[in-house]
Amino acid sequence: MTAAKAAQKRYFDARRAEAVSLRTVASLRLTLVLFGLLGAALVAVNLTQWPATWLIAVPCALLAVNLLAAIAAHPAFRLRMPLLVFHLALAAVLLLAAMGRMTHLKGELELSTGDTFEGVLTRTQAAPWHRSKLGEVRFTNAGYAIDYAPGVKRGRTANRIVWRDESGFERESVVGDDVPFTLFGYRFYTSFNKGFAPIVRWQPANGSPVQRGTIHLPSYPLHEHGQAQEWTPPGADAKLWLMLKFDEMLLDPERHSQFRLPQRHTLIVREGARRVELAPGGGMDLAQGTLVYEGLTTWMGYTVFSDWTLPWLVVASLVAAAGLAWHFASRFAARSWMSPC
Amino acid sequence: MLETFTFETALLWLALLAYAGTLASALRAIACGQSAEGAVGLGMTVGLALHTIALALRWTRLGHGPFITLYEVLSSNIWSLLLVYAIAWWRIRAVRAAAPAVLAVVLVLGAWLLAVGEQDGHLPPTYRTVWLYAHVGFGKLFLGAALVAVGIAALILLRSMNVFATRLATLPADVPLEELAFRFLAFAFVFETLMLIVGAIWAQDAWGRYWAWDPLETWSFLTWLALAAFLHLRVTLRAGPRLRACAVIGIFVLAFVTFFGVPFVSTAVHKGMV
Size of interface A-B (CB pairs under 8 A): 106
pLDDT for A3-42, tens place per residue? 788 888 787 877 777 777 778 899 989 999 999 999 999 8
Percentage above 90 pLDDT, chain B: 66
Are B106 and B19 in contact by the 8 Å Cβ rule? The answer is yes
| Per-residue buried b or exposed e for A286-298, using 16+ beta carbons within 10 Å of the residue's own CB | bebbebbbbebbb
Cβ <8 Å between B122 and A153: yes
CA nearest A239: which of A252, A250, A226, A230? Answer: A230
At residue A45 the predicted structure's pLDDT band, cuts being 50, 70 and 90, is confident
Cβ <8 Å between A340 and B233: no
Are A134 and A326 in contact by the 8 Å Cβ rule? The answer is no
Percentage above 70 pLDDT, chain B: 95
Å between B194 CA and nearest CA of chain A:
7
Which of B138, B183, B219 best tests the A interface by mutation, with the highest count of A CBs <10 A?
Answer: B183
Cβ <8 Å between A340 and B226: no
Q: What pLDDT is stored for residue B265 in this prediction?
A: 67
pLDDT for B239-251, tens place per residue? 889 999 999 999 9
* Interatomic CA distance for residues B54 and B74, integer angstroms: 13
pLDDT at B6 over 60: yes
Cβ <8 Å between B225 and A35: yes
* Closest CB to A42 among B122, B172, B221: B221
At residue A1 the predicted structure's pLDDT band, cuts being 50, 70 and 90, is low
pLDDT at B2 over 50: no
* Closest CB to B190 among A46, A106, A324: A324
Q: Does A155 touch chain B (CB under 8 A)?
A: yes
pLDDT at A252 over 80: yes
Decide: helix, strand or coil at residue B47. Answer: helix
Percentage above 90 pLDDT, chain A: 73
Å between A209 CA and nearest CA of chain B:
40
Cβ <8 Å between A337 and B91: yes
pLDDT at A167 over 70: yes
Which of B129, B207, B269 best tests the A interface by mutation, with the highest count of A CBs <10 A?
Answer: B207
pLDDT at A202 over 90: yes
Cβ <8 Å between A332 and B183: yes
**Shortest CA distance from B175: residue in chain A:** A341
At residue A341 the predicted structure's pLDDT band, cuts being 50, 70 and 90, is low
Q: What pLDDT is stored for residue A4 in this prediction?
A: 80
pLDDT at A54 over 90: no
At residue B4 the predicted structure's pLDDT band, cuts being 50, 70 and 90, is low
Residue ranges of alpha helices (H) inside chain B are 7-31, 37-62, 70-91, 99-116, 130-160, 165-168, 174-207, 215-236, 241-260, 262-265
pLDDT at B59 over 90: yes
Q: In chain B, where are the structural domains located?
A: 124-265
Question: Which residues in chain A have their CB less than 8 angstroms from residue B226's CB?
Answer: 39
DSSP code for A210? P
Which of A28, A46, A67, A308 best tests the B interface by mutation, with the highest count of B CBs <10 A?
Answer: A46
Q: What pLDDT is stored for residue B1 in this prediction?
A: 45
E strand or H helix that includes residue A213: strand A211-214
**Shortest CA distance from B172: residue in chain A:** A339
Å between A225 CA and nearest CA of chain B:
24
Q: What residue type is B205 in one-letter code?
A: D
Cβ <8 Å between B201 and A314: yes
Which of A147, A178, A319, A328 best tests the B interface by mutation, with the highest count of B CBs <10 A?
Answer: A178
Q: What pLDDT is stored for residue A36 in this prediction?
A: 95
Are A143 and A115 in contact by the 8 Å Cβ rule? The answer is no
Decide: helix, strand or coil at residue B185. Answer: helix
Average pLDDT of chain A? 91
How, if at all, do strands A123-126 and A153-164 pair?
unpaired
- What fold is seen in the domain B124-265? Four Helix Bundle (Hemerythrin (Met), subunit A) (1.20.120)
Cβ <8 Å between A45 and B218: yes
Å between B169 CA and nearest CA of chain A:
16
Identify which of A270-274, A321-325, B33-37 has the greatest average pLDDT: A321-325
Q: Does A332 touch chain B (CB under 8 A)?
A: yes
Å between A208 CA and nearest CA of chain B:
42
At residue B267 the predicted structure's pLDDT band, cuts being 50, 70 and 90, is low
B162 by Cβ neighbours in 10 Å (0-12 / 13-18 / 19+) ranks as exposed
Average pLDDT on A318-326 reads 96
Residue A245 phi, psi dihedral angles, 5° rounding: -120, 125
Q: What pLDDT is stored for residue B268 in this prediction?
A: 60
pLDDT for A73-85, tens place per residue? 888 888 899 999 9
Å between A31 CA and nearest CA of chain B:
8
Average pLDDT of chain B? 90
